[in-house]
């Protein structure tokens, strides 16, 4: 394995060549910190296609063989969540750092086991918290750090996705998606994003209350709706997932003692309402500023669509910072605490004692 230096180029490999792999492999193809030594998929054609498309040294259908032959420094685990514990375990035992798509593991207990293994092997285990690195979220963090929003009072994270829509990947009755078997059902695919974003602005969790519902009639789904409250002293948080209200969005609103900021990560914009132009004109000035921002965001959104800049913009920043940290031997941008808190919160939301 490579020793961390400022000139280090890490040998990277990926397990899983599905949709999410595209963003990881695109990053790896262009990164000066990584060389893609292997991609692995159960399908030889998929593995070969991904290897050719993203200039990997080799394609594999057996990840154990890839670990043994290519000896990667970092493995990206990009397979369905239920397979994560076994794959992460084997990659860590094979001596590789692991970057894994969320969730690291379906339960907090499994996460703890994997973390202990990573510690014992002196390897890094990093969960993808990509939306944390999207520019509007970083901008809200800056506003808070600069005191422009004052002290945090409320955090609201809301995702609306039509996961039950006929013809969609989660509603396919012919070949049901593997996530239906996870503790939160299909919502487990998204719950980590909601939790880590809320926790970014909530210092600690005193109590949670959650209502998991199924409002639709689709037999495959365990839940299609979540409404959860988080209490942390004077700070209130709300996590909301719905598959019925439209249009699709991933909205974050942070309200402070001085003002509030709001974004939608699917249609990126940043609306900030703070004292502007004195008490008399503040309302008008905020409306003008909001209108300007929405117009600007509309144009930028169109441009982003043309230029294929997707909501995964933060993934490249996350991976770039993670690789820099791995090369420097520094703490990755998503820490144990970040992952541990998100995983604990998911368990707490599912706990029967916290159900509404």
Tell me which residues touch other proteins (CB under 8 A): 18-19, 22, 43-46, 49, 52-53, 169, 173-175, 305-308
**Partners of 227 in the β-ladder:** 211, 240
Q: Are 346 and 102 in contact (CB under 8 A)?
A: no
Given the DSSP bridges, would you call strands 235-242 and 225-232 parallel, antiparallel or unpaired?
antiparallel
Q: How far is the CB of 167 from other proteins (least distance, A)?
A: 9
Select 54 or 111, whichever has its Cβ closest to other proteins: 54
Q: Are 249 and 267 in contact (CB under 8 A)?
A: yes
Q: How far is the CB of 29 from other proteins (least distance, A)?
A: 12
Give phi and psi for 195, each to the nearest 5.
-70, -45
Q: How far is the CB of 196 from other proteins (least distance, A)?
A: 25
Select 30 or 291, whichever has its Cβ closest to other proteins: 30
Q: Mapping DSSP to helix (H, G, I), strand (E, B) and coil, where does residue 86 land?
A: helix
Q: How far is the CB of 17 from other proteins (least distance, A)?
A: 9
Q: How far is the CB of 183 from other proteins (least distance, A)?
A: 23
Given the DSSP bridges, would you call strands 235-242 and 152-160 parallel, antiparallel or unpaired?
parallel
Select 46 or 126, whichever has its Cβ closest to other proteins: 46
Select 52 or 355, whichever has its Cβ closest to other proteins: 52
Select 113 or 309, whichever has its Cβ closest to other proteins: 309
Upper half-sphere CA count for residue 73 (Cβ side, 13 Å): 17
Q: How far is the CB of 190 from other proteins (least distance, A)?
A: 18
Q: Are 57 and 37 in contact (CB under 8 A)?
A: yes
Select 5 or 43, whichever has its Cβ closest to other proteins: 43
Complete DSSP assignment for 7-33: T--EEEEEE--STTHHHHHHHHHH-TT
Q: How far apart are the first and last CA of the chain?
A: 50
Select 175 or 299, whichever has its Cβ closest to other proteins: 175
Give the sign of the dihedral formed by CA 242, CA 248, CA 252, CA 253: negative
Select 45 or 288, whichever has its Cβ closest to other proteins: 45
Residues 6+ apart with CB under 8 A from 75: 12, 13, 14, 15, 67, 91, 94, 96, 97, 98, 99
Q: How far is the CB of 56 from other proteins (least distance, A)?
A: 13
Q: How far is the CB of 302 from other proteins (least distance, A)?
A: 12
Q: How far is the CB of 325 from other proteins (least distance, A)?
A: 28
Residues 6+ apart with CB under 8 A from 104: 84, 88, 110, 111, 114, 125, 127, 339, 343
- Residue 216 has a CB neighbour count (10 Å cut-off) of 17
Select 18 or 150, whichever has its Cβ closest to other proteins: 18
**Partners of 255 in the β-ladder:** 154, 260
Q: Per the structure block, which two tokens stand in for 139?
A: 């901008």
């Amino acid at each position: 394995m490579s020793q961390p230096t400022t000139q280090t180029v890490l040998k990277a490999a990926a397990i899983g060549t599905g949709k999410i792999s595209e963003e990881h492999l695109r990053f790896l193809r262009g990164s000066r910190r990584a060389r893609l030594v292997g991609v692995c998929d159960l399908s030889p054609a998929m593995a070969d296609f991904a290897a050719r498309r993203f200039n990997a040294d080799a394609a594999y259908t057996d990840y154990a063989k890839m670990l043994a032959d290519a000896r990667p420094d970092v493995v990206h685990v990009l397979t369905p969540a239920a397979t994560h514990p076994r794959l992460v375990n084997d990659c860590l035992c094979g001596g590789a750092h692991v970057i894994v798509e969320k969730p690291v593991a379906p339960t907090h207990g499994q996460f703890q086991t994997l973390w202990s293994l990573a510690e014992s092997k002196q390897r890094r285990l990093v969960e993808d918290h990509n939306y944390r690195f999207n520019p509007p979220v970083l901008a809200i963090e800056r506003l808070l750090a600069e005191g422009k929003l004052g002290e945090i009072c409320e955090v609201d994270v809301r995702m609306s996705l039509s996961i039950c829509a006929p013809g969609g990947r989660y509603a396919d009755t012919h070949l049901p998606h593997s996530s239906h078997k996870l503790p939160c059902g299909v919502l487990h695919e998204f719950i980590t994003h909601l939790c880590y974003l809320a926790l970014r602005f909530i210092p600690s969790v005193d109590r949670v209350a959650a209502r998991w519902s199924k409002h639709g009639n689709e037999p495959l789904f365990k839940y299609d709706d979540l409404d959860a409250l988080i209490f942390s002293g004077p700070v209130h948080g709300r996590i909301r997932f719905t598959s019925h209200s439209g249009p699709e969005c991933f909205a974050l609103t942070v309200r402070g003692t001085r003002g509030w900021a709001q974004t939608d990560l699917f249609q990126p914009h940043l609306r900030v309402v703070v004292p502007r132009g004195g008490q008399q004109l503040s309302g008008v000035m905020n409306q003008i500023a909001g209108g300007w921002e929405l117009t600007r965001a509309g144009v930028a959104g169109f441009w982003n669509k043309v230029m294929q800049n997707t909501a995964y913009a933060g993934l490249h920043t996350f991976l770039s910072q993670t690789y820099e940290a791995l090369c420097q031997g520094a703490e990755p941008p998503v820490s144990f605490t970040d992952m541990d808190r998100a995983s604990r919160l998911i368990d707490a939301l599912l706990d029967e004692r916290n159900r509404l």
